[in-house]
């Protein structure tokens, strides 16, 4: 490719709205162009990177016999209503109506659509198992699109779906995809760690995320400083010796005075209550009154200095829920939020294990402006259900080795795989007849990779400040960047063009005659080729050109006639990480 004939450009200054390294480099190198917040165009050089990532993914999907399909982006509300997600998905779902006032959405994910396709054809156990995947655009109405294409409203994604007959078969398929993802990120030269994660809006029984650690990620991960434990923050456990704490509670039941109601005006938060009573926040037991999707009411308790994990609580309740509104709280408790507690509640109470440390606790008195002090769980209210529903925090004890402490790190989710079970096949009636002529639901799995986000992660890892990026050989749009220092010098330019003609399939040559050598070198640094060939003064002095291996940070002098037989084999030897097909 000749620069003079190609649609390629660069920016001399970082865009004012760019924060992350990848955003700055992709904008400065002309890989993407912003259209609106969270919406970007890919230029030819940027699209080459996307296609190189897709090539690796396609090869690994085909390796595990996963076959490609194309699914619509515009999807009817009826399919989403079958699973209930039309009402529960949230504001991130782009909704629209056609000219006939029928409801549609721009798909952020395709579980319903793929299930509808498969149920049309699959009837017998003989047609199973199989897996399908697609690569295409997705849409999500992000409240705060940021960091360029890291968190965008429109993005490119690979999503795959598996269809199995039994749980054992489905778990084996899940493992195949897990291993395939490890190979994909290995070939992409990204240090990605698989982490146990919450199922979120997709649903299912369990899932893993593939996390790339970066300061510009929005996923929090808890890691033990003594063992191999790692988990997403929202579902991470931490160790508390509940048996020991329960014994301590029993020993203090006679020594702590009886509960006492005290006046606590305008103390609707744990912070204001702590300040008013001059006690630590950790002595307060917070009460959250929630309403489940099926209409049940539950009181969740947690220590005042901790936060409830909605994902953990959902696993305990086994259905979606929301905080009850003020009207419902007053109807049940006779008081407003901030003054309710467990002492008079007759329904289901789910207590987090952290409240077992509150042996001289404080709870709401179910009366505005009043609380009870001297509260002991188990003495003053029943604690029949003790669960782990708190978010883990830095410094907590590791639940695995029970001696190390947890540290919080920030990462970026590049891939997410889910064991769905019958989450979609049951409501959408995706059934098959087994060998014994019994009707059974297909067991499903879901497997996604954010392709455009992965491109950002590559720039995060391989970017060198704001002025340079050295892309991996298998990803770079051009493997070799040829720079003739003086295009008006016939010897220099003709030699550069001869080298280019031999490396044409993998190279770009900066043949511009109105651009200074400094500008050419600056553009070369931004466009990411891992090998730079400089044709200039050295050719006149020694009859050689300069080869710069940017990843290896080494230079070599070479005669022009040697380049073809040495550089091409060198390039071909690079993208051969372990596990590639």
Instruction: Give per-residue pLDDT as tens, 19-48.
Output: 899 999 999 999 999 999 999 999 999 999
* Rounded average pLDDT over 487-503: 94
Q: 509 vs 9, 51, 248, CA distance in Å?
A: 14, 21, 75
> Which tokens go with 485?
């220092």
Give pLDDT, residue 204.
63
User: Is 173:390 a contact under the CB 8 Å cutoff?
Assistant: no
Distance CA 49, CA 53 (A): 6
CATH placement of domain 242-387: 3.90.960.10
pLDDT (0 to 100) of residue 556: 94
In the prediction, which pLDDT does 254 show? 77
What is the secondary structure of 28-51 as a DSSP string? HTTSEEEEETTEEEEPHHHHHHHH
CATH code, residues 19-236+408-460: 3.30.930.10
Question: Domain residue spans in the chain?
Answer: 19-236+408-460, 242-387, 478-573
Residue 360 has pLDDT above 60, yes or no: yes
- The secondary structure element, H or E, covering residue 172 is helix 167-187
Query: Which tokens hold the place of 158?
Result: 């690979």
Q: What percentage of the chain carries pLDDT values higher than 90?
A: 82
Peptide bond between residue 129 and the one before it cis (omega within 30 degrees of 0):
yes
Task: Summarize pLDDT for 283-306 with one digit per residue, the tens.
Answer: 999 999 999 988 999 999 999 999
Secondary structure class of 373 (helix, strand, coil): strand
Top mean pLDDT of 11-15, 253-257, 345-349 is at: 345-349
Q: In this model, does residue 200 exceed pLDDT 80?
A: no
Enter the pTM of the model: 0.86
CATH topology of domain 478-573: Rossmann fold (3.40.50)
Return the number of other C-beta atoms located less than 10 Å from residue 90's C-beta.
Answer: 12
Lowest-pLDDT choice from 188-202, 339-353, 462-476, 529-543: 188-202
Answer whether residue 574 shows pLDDT above 80.
no
Average pLDDT over residues 353-375: 94
CB atoms near residue 64 (< 10 Å): 16
- Is the model's pLDDT at 199 over the cut of 80? no
Instruction: Identify the pLDDT of residue 201.
Output: 56
Q: What is the pLDDT of residues 59-95, one digit of tens each?
A: 999 999 999 999 999 999 999 999 999 988 889 999 9
Contact 419, 119 (CB under 8 A): no
Distance CA 455, CA 45 (A): 12
Rounded to whole angstroms, how far apart are CA atoms 466 and 24?
Answer: 6
| Choice among 17-21, 98-102, 121-125, 293-297 with the minimum mean pLDDT | 17-21
Instruction: Supply the pLDDT for residue 479.
Output: 95
List, for residues 5-17, the tens digit of each pLDDT value. Answer: 999 999 998 888 8
Q: State the pLDDT confidence band at 146, using cuts at 50, 70 and 90.
A: confident
**Which residues sit opposite 196 in a β-bridge?**
208, 231
Mean pLDDT, rounded, of the chain: 93
Looking at residue 578, what is its pLDDT?
A: 38
């Amino acid at each position: 490719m000749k620069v003079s004939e190609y649609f390629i450009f660069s920016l001399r200054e970082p865009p004012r709205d760019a924060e992350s390294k990848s955003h700055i480099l992709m904008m400065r190198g002309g890989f993407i162009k912003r259209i609106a917040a969270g919406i970007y165009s890919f230029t030819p050089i940027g699209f080459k990177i996307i296609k190189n990532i897709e090539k690796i993914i396609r090869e690994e999907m085909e390796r595990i016999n996963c076959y490609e399909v194309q699914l619509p982006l515009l999807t009817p509300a009826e399919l989403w209503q079958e699973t209930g997600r039309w009402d529960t998905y949230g504001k991130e779902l782009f909704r629209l109506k056609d000219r006939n006032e029928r409801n549609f959405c721009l798909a952020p994910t395709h579980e319903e659509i793929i299930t509808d396709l498969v149920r049309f054809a699959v009837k017998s156990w003989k047609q199973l198992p199989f897996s399908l995947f697609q690569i295409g655009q997705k849409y999500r109405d992000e409240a705060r699109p940021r960091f360029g294409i890291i968190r965008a409203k429109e993005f490119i994604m690979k999503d795959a779906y598996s269809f199995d007959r039994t749980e054992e078969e489905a778990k084996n398929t899940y493992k195949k995809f897990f291993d395939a993802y490890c190979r994909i990120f290995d070939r992409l030269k990204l240090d990605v760690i698989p982490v146990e994660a919450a199922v979120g809006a997709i649903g299912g029984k369990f899932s893993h995320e593939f996390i790339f650690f970066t300061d510009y990620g929005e996923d929090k991960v808890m890691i033990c400083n003594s063992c191999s434990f790692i988990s997403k923050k929202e579902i991470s456990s931490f160790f508390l010796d509940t048996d020991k704490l329960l014994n301590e509670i029993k020993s203090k039941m006679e020594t702590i005075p009886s509960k006492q109601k005290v006046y606590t005006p305008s103390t609707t938060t744990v912070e204001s209550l702590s300040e008013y009573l001059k006690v630590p926040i950790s002595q307060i037991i917070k009460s959250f009154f929630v309403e489940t999707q099926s209409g049940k009411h539950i009181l969740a308790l947690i220590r005042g200095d901790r936060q409830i994990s909605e994902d953990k609580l959902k696993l305990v309740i086994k259905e979606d829920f929301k905080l009850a509104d003020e009207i419902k709280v007053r109807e049940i408790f006779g008081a407003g939020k901030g003054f309710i507690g467990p002492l008079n509640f007759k329904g289901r109470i789910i207590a987090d294990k952290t409240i077992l440390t509150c042996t001289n606790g404080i709870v709401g008195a179910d009366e505005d402006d009043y609380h009870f002090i001297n509260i002991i769980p188990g003495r003053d209210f029943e604690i029949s259900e003790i669960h782990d529903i708190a978010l883990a925090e830095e410094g907590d004890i590791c639940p695995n080795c029970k001696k190390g402490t947890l540290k919080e790190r920030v990462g970026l989710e590049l891939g997410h795989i889910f064991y769905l079970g019958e989450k979609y096949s049951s409501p959408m009636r995706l059934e098959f007849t087994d060998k014994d002529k019994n009707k059974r639901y297909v067991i499903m799995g879901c497997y996604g990779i954010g392709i455009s986000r992965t491109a950002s992660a590559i720039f995060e890892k391989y970017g060198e400040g704001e002025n340079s990026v050295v892309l991996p050989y298998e990803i770079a749009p051009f493997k070799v960047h040829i720079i003739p220092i003086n295009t008006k010098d016939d010897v220099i330019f003709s030699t550069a063009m001869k080298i280019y003609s031999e490396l044409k399939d993998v190279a770009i040559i900066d043949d511009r005659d109105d651009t200074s050598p400094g500008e050419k070198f600056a553009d070369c640094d931004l466009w990411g080729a891992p090998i730079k060939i400089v044709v200039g003064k050295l050719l006149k002095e020694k009859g050689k050109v300069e080869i710069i291996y940017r990843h290896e940070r080494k230079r070599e002098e070479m005669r022009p006639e040697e380049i073809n037989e040495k550089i091409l084999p060198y390039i071909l030897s690079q993208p051969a990480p372990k596990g590639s097909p």
